[in-house]
Amino acid sequence: MGYLVSSFLLSFSSNIDNLAVGIAYGAKKIKIGIISNLTIAIFSANGAFLSMSIGEKLGRLLSAELANLLGFIALLSF
């Protein structure tokens, strides 16, 4: 259950900027076409898949403590 809540909070926090962009575009009445939207979605999905694949491979090589420390540093620095 903890993983479900953590996953939800991470996905919400990482996509809150998309909400702000959507509101700004909506306020200016700017429409994003279906092809542009699809292109953005494909790039986002590929980036997420690549990140998860690399994370899985690194998870096999590193201890849990070191992986947590590196993740913590990455979140703080970006």
Stretches in the chain below the pLDDT threshold 50: none
With contact defined as beta carbons under 8 Å apart, do 46 and 54 qualify? no
- Per-residue confidence (pLDDT) for residue 27, from 0 to 100: 94
Over residues 26-47, the pLDDT tens digits come to 999 998 889 998 998 899 889 9
What is the pTM for the complete model shown?
Answer: 0.60
Residues in the chain: 78
With contact defined as beta carbons under 8 Å apart, do 67 and 58 qualify? yes
Helices (H) and strands (E) in the chain, counts: 3, 0
Domain spans of the chain, in order of start: 1-31, 33-78
